[in-house]
A and B are shown apart, each in its own frame.
Chain A
Amino acid sequence: GAGVSQSPSNKVTEKGKDVELRCDPISGHTALYWYRQSLGQGLEFLIYFQGNSAPDKSGLPSDRFSAERTGGSVSTLTIQRTQQEDSAVYLCASSTQGGANSPLHFGNGTRLTVT
């Protein structure tokens, strides 16, 4: 079946512009995660959605970052007033539920470049 789909695959934007990154999780997966991957920093947790519970936003680096998940499916990560340090690969993952028997399935990521 289809895996986690992210769009766009690449995004180049000018400093100060807003960007939206989209994630389509695997159908039926209740948990959705956003991570940021950059050289030297590994995988940095951003935000986690689980079903209808309030999202865990503890990883968002600043108030310029926000995310929503509509209808328990598609998620959008928004970065306002982008800065050069926001350049990274943004990864989305989904899983059936929390726990050791629920591995994360990752998308291919969106490579964001802020010029």
Chain B
Amino acid sequence: AQRVTQPEKLLSVFKGAPVELKCNYSYSGSPELFWYVQYSRQRLQLLLRHISRESIKGFTADLNKGETSFHLKKPFAQEEDSAMYYCALRSQGNLIFGKGTKLSVKP
């Protein structure tokens, strides 16, 4: 069955520290993976997608098919990165989300 797992409910780091939000998936086929972010009092929005191999706001995510992972990384966290982050997998047109990780960046 298709599944997205985000093992950490909450991740707290200090400003300037590296951050890695973990995401593992289960999917039979070639996966399409995304990271969505929800800042306080804002709409859920796309952060990045694996197919673009892009860096957005300093974040990157590499698809590792061997480990079935799509971890989100940033070398130096900023306070404005504090938000709820969701990993998502596209399955037959639908988008399946993980339960999310709340990132808190302390000054």
Contacts and interface: CB of A to CB of B under 8 A. Distances in A.
Contacts of A35: 97
A41 B99 contact: yes
B96 interface: yes
Contact of B43 (A3, A40, A99, A103): A3
A40 B97 CA distance: 13
B45 interface: yes
A41 B99 CA distance: 6
Contact of B46 (A33, A42, A45, A103): A103
Interface residues of A, number: 24
B51 to A, nearest CB: 4
Contacts, number: 56
A42 B100 contact: yes
Contacts of A98: 90, 92-94
Interface residues of B, number: 23
Given A42-B100, A43-B100, A91-B44, A103 B93 contact: no
Interface of A, helix, strand, loop or mixed by DSSP: strand
Contact of A45 (B32, B96, B99): B96
Interface of B: 6, 9, 32, 34, 36, 43-46, 49-51, 86, 90, 92-100
25 contacts: A31-B93, A33-B94, A35-B97, A40-B99, A41-B99, A42-B86, A42-B98, A43-B44, A43-B100, A48-B94, A50-B93, A56-B92, A56-B94, A93-B44, A98-B90, A98-B93, A98-B94, A99-B32, A99-B90, A100-B50, A100-B90, A101-B51, A103-B34, A103-B49, A105-B45
Given A56-B94, A107-B43, 12 more contacts: A31-B93, A33-B94, A42-B97, A42-B100, A56-B93, A98-B93, A98-B94, A99-B32, A100-B51, A103-B34, A105-B45, A106-B45
